[in-house]
Amino acid sequence: MKLSIIIPVYNEIHTISIILAKIAMVLPNVDKEIILVDDGSTDGTREWLVGNFGSANTKPVEALLNNGSLTAIDKIKNNSQQLSTKIQGETALITVSIIFHHFNQGKGAALRTGFKKSTGEVLVIQDADLEYDPQDWKRMWKLIAENNADIVYGSRFYGEPHRVLYFHHLLGNQVISNLINLLCNTTLTDIEVCYKMFRREVINEMELICNDFGFEVEFTIKITKARKWRIYETGISYYGRTYEEGKKINWKDGVKALGYILWFWLFN
């Protein structure tokens, strides 16, 4: 099976190279398809992506992945909006595709773009910052590869380490998670978590419409109301960041999430 990693990117010039290197190293025996959707970055991220994946020179890619066994072997520029690179690893193939939104549309919109481009049998969502560690995919992947699960959520409340940050974020997440659990008769602990790994059939059978962080609510309600998927949770580490360090979600997203819960519960 091939794993498609969908990465929405917005103004992450300081972390993008590090997270890509981490992704390249995890699950070395699994073919991986990395799809980065730049959602209108204005801090130099777009230029960095073009500079590293749009040039004919393969050296920046080798330096990026920080491993001599990974060599760029085929670089294709499809058009001005999409670049593709193939990198051959020791035991598995890694492909990298970059898609550019002309303007910022939101995380949900970026994910939909990435889902449409993806070709893997299994998909996982990855943020472009360093709050999450791709090494945590191992247990998630195992649950799906051994045919125990169709969907695996990470949970920051089961794993360690967990950076201590904002109480109002914790409270908001618990309110959202508990309300969905009540309405959908499920027991998920971390609805707003980034890490969601799932089989392709899951995304093929739903129509997503949220452009913003409401994706987390929409996806969760639709999979639980379907009553057909085997859903698991597994603990993950969490290296959260402050607003000064670049965190983007805020209280307004929490308020909108409550509205999304009612909307998708009533009208899904």
DSSP string, 113-126: HHHHH---SEEEE-
| Rounded average pLDDT over 260-265 | 82
pLDDT of residue 249: 65
| Rounded average pLDDT over 140-147 | 97
Residue 60 pLDDT grade (very low, low, confident, very high; cuts 50, 70, 90): very low
- The DSSP bridge pattern shows strands 151-155 and 196-199 to be antiparallel
58: left (phi over 0), alpha (psi -120 to 50) or beta: alpha
pLDDT tens-digit series, residues 11-48: 999 999 999 989 988 998 999 999 999 999 999 999 99
| Rounded average pLDDT over 204-208 | 93
Examine the pLDDT at 155 and tell me if it is beyond 90: yes
pLDDT tens-digit series, residues 109-136: 999 999 999 999 999 999 998 999 999 9
Per-chain mean pLDDT for the chain: 82
Phi/psi of residue 182, each to 5°?
-65, -45
Coil, helix or strand at residue 100: strand
pLDDT tens-digit series, residues 74-104: 332 333 344 455 555 456 888 888 999 989 9
Q: How far is CA 258 from CA 102, 182, 188, 205, 213, in A?
A: 29, 13, 16, 24, 12
More confident residue, 10 or 57: 10
Residue 246 pLDDT grade (very low, low, confident, very high; cuts 50, 70, 90): low
Neighbours of 15 (CB within 10 A): 19
| Rounded average pLDDT over 179-183 | 91
In the chain, the percentage of residues whose pLDDT exceeds 90 is 53
| Rounded average pLDDT over 189-212 | 94
The top-level CATH class assigned to 3-164+193-204+229-245 is: alpha beta
- Candidates 42, 31, 33; CA nearest to 9 is 42
| Rounded average pLDDT over 206-222 | 92
Coil, helix or strand at residue 74: strand
